[in-house]
Amino acid sequence: MKSLAELAAIRDKMKQNATIREDGESTIRIVVGMATCGIAAGARPVLNAITAELAAQNVTNATVAQTGCIGRCTLEPIVDVIVPGEDIVTYVHVTPDKISKIISSHVKEGIPVVEYTVGAYEN
Q: Give whichever of 95 and 120 is closer to another protein, judged by the CB atom.
A: 95
Pairing of strands 89-91, 79-82: antiparallel
Rounded-to-integer distance, Cα 39 and Cα 35, Å: 6
Residues that bind another protein (CB under 8 A): 1-2, 4-8, 10-11, 13-15, 18, 32, 34-36, 39-40, 44-45, 47-48, 51-52, 54-55, 59, 63-66, 68-71
Task: Work out the burial of residue 46: count CB atoms within 10 Å of its CB; fewer than 13 is exposed, 13-18 middle, 19 or more buried.
Answer: buried
With respect to another protein, which residue has the nearer C-beta, 52 or 83?
A: 52
| Minimum separation from the CB atom of position 109 to another protein (A) | 18
The C-alpha atoms of residue 34 and residue 67 are separated, in whole angstroms, by 6
As measured in angstroms, the least distance from the Cβ of 123 to another protein is 26
Decide whether 9 or 85 has the Cβ nearer to another protein: 9
- The CB-of-24 to another protein minimum distance in angstroms stands at 15
Smallest distance, Å, CB 20 to another protein?
A: 14
77 burial (CB, 10 Å; 0-12 / 13-18 / 19+) is: buried
